[in-house]
Amino acid sequence: MQTPTEIRRPPGRLALAAKAQRGMTLIEIMVVVAIISLIMGGVGIMAFNRYQDAQKQDTKNQTITIQGAIEQYRTAKRGKCPKTMQDLKAAGFISRVAKDAWGNDFTFKCPGEKSSVDVMSPGEDGEIGTADDITNYGDGEGEGEGKDG
């Protein structure tokens, strides 16, 4: 027979509370960190893609702006085309010589072959005539004369 001191009693409130507050294990913390890393990686990739799209769109808009400035120059100079972007700046049709989103100079042909004025950015690779050229004619990227398949 058991004496009263040998009878096991169920744990009290304090014992249950202490057991519940042990904290998280290392595995649980590592799983949470891994999940957060995956989410941040996905957000970073999406943000970078949006940034690249914005660079291309900004450069496309700049080519159209430059085309407008060249056409204004031609109107003011009775059909004469500017030779360089500096001519446009000197005549006051642009405030500064613009560069594309990658720091490259714009080039233009006046009169143009595809439109009244062909304005081109060499794109990310910095070379005219490749697949990533951005122009004022067409629908954006990939309008270079010599496409790099």
pLDDT in tens, the chain (149 residues): 555 556 666 666 666 555 556 678 899 999 999 999 999 999 999 999 999 999 999 999 999 999 999 999 999 988 899 998 898 889 888 888 889 999 999 999 988 888 889 999 999 898 888 888 999 887 644 444 443 33
CATH number, span 25-135: 3.30.700.10
CA dihedral 107, 118, 80, 62 (to 10 degrees): -60
Nearest to 130 by CA among 139, 141, 138, 119: 141
Domain boundaries, the chain: 25-135
Q: What is the spatial distance between Cα 70 and Cα 57, in angstroms, rounded to a whole number?
A: 20
Q: Is the pTM of this model over 0.75?
A: no
Strand arrangement of the beta sheet that strand 134-135 belongs to = 107-109, 118-121, 134-135
**93-129 pLDDT, tens digit each:** 888 888 999 999 999 998 888 888 999 999 989 888 8
